[in-house]
């Protein structure tokens, strides 16, 4: 306290007054500053530095993760595009195969239908030929009998197994067989005279 009083009392005159150390407060302020600096350096800066390093590490890790995610996304898009192109190609192949199979099936069914038509036509022709031969045989017997009856009526006496009658009937029927089917009525042989 005496120093403070001496400094206050000697305010006017002496050269011993140092403006840098007025009352020695600068030394105390310097010591407090160093003490605060030491506290900051020891207990505040390390946790802050550690937190900042962790934050920087986390940001760096997030950037790497983002780059990795972008790379995976690009790869996934490429795989997707490749799979899509492959699926389109496969669908085209399947569609082409289905068309080819359908065409084969259509051709096979057409061939089977043609064969069936040919078979039915042949059977019909065979049946028609059989019916024609039966009809011709029936007609031969009927025409022969009718011709004999007609001759008996014209002649007025019974005609019994005359060889000329049989040959005339046979010739008439042969001419009928030789005539085209559905011929004109004027084309029919008369069978008279012999």
Alpha carbon 117 to chain centroid, angstroms:
36
pLDDT in tens, 18-54: 666 667 788 888 999 999 999 999 999 999 999 999 9
Q: What is the mean pLDDT of residues 82-103?
A: 94
pLDDT in tens, 125-167: 999 999 988 887 787 777 777 777 777 787 777 766 666 667 7
Residues with Cβ within 8 Å of residue 24, at least 6 apart in sequence? 3
Q: For residues 79 and 73, give the distance between their C-alpha atoms in angstroms, rounded to a whole number.
A: 10
Residues with Cβ within 8 Å of residue 166, at least 6 apart in sequence? 144
Task: Show me where the domains of the chain are located.
Answer: 23-177
Distances (CA, A) of 21 to 4, 7, 28, 192: 12, 11, 10, 177
pLDDT of 44: 92
pLDDT in tens, 113-134: 999 999 999 999 999 999 988 8
What are the E-state strand segments in 32-122?
none
Q: Is 138 in a helix, a strand, or coil? A: helix
pTM: 0.38
> What DSSP string runs through 105-128?
HHHHHHHHHHHHHHHHHHHHHHHH
């Amino acid at each position: 306290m005496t120093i403070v009083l001496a400094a206050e009392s000697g305010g006017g005159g002496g050269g011993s007054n140092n403006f840098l150390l007025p009352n020695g407060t600068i030394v105390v302020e310097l010591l407090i500053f160093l003490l605060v600096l030491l506290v900051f350096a020891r207990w505040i800066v390390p946790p802050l530095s550690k937190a900042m390093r962790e934050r920087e590490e986390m940001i760096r890790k997030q950037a790497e993760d983002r780059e990795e995610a972008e790379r995976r996304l690009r790869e996934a898009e490429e795989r997707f595009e490749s799979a899509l192109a492959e699926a389109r190609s496969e669908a085209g192949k399947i569609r082409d195969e289905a068309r080819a199979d359908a065409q084969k099936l259509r051709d096979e069914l057409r061939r089977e239908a043609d064969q069936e038509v040919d078979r039915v036509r042949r059977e019909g022709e065979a049946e028609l030929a059989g019916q024609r031969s039966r009809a011709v045989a029936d007609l031969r017997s009927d025409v022969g009998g009718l011709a004999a009856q007609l001759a008996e009526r014209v002649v007025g006496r019974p005609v019994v197994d005359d060889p000329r009658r049989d040959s005339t009937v046979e010739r008439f029927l042969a001419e009928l067989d030789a005539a085209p089917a559905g011929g004109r009525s004027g084309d029919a042989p008369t069978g008279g005279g012999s």
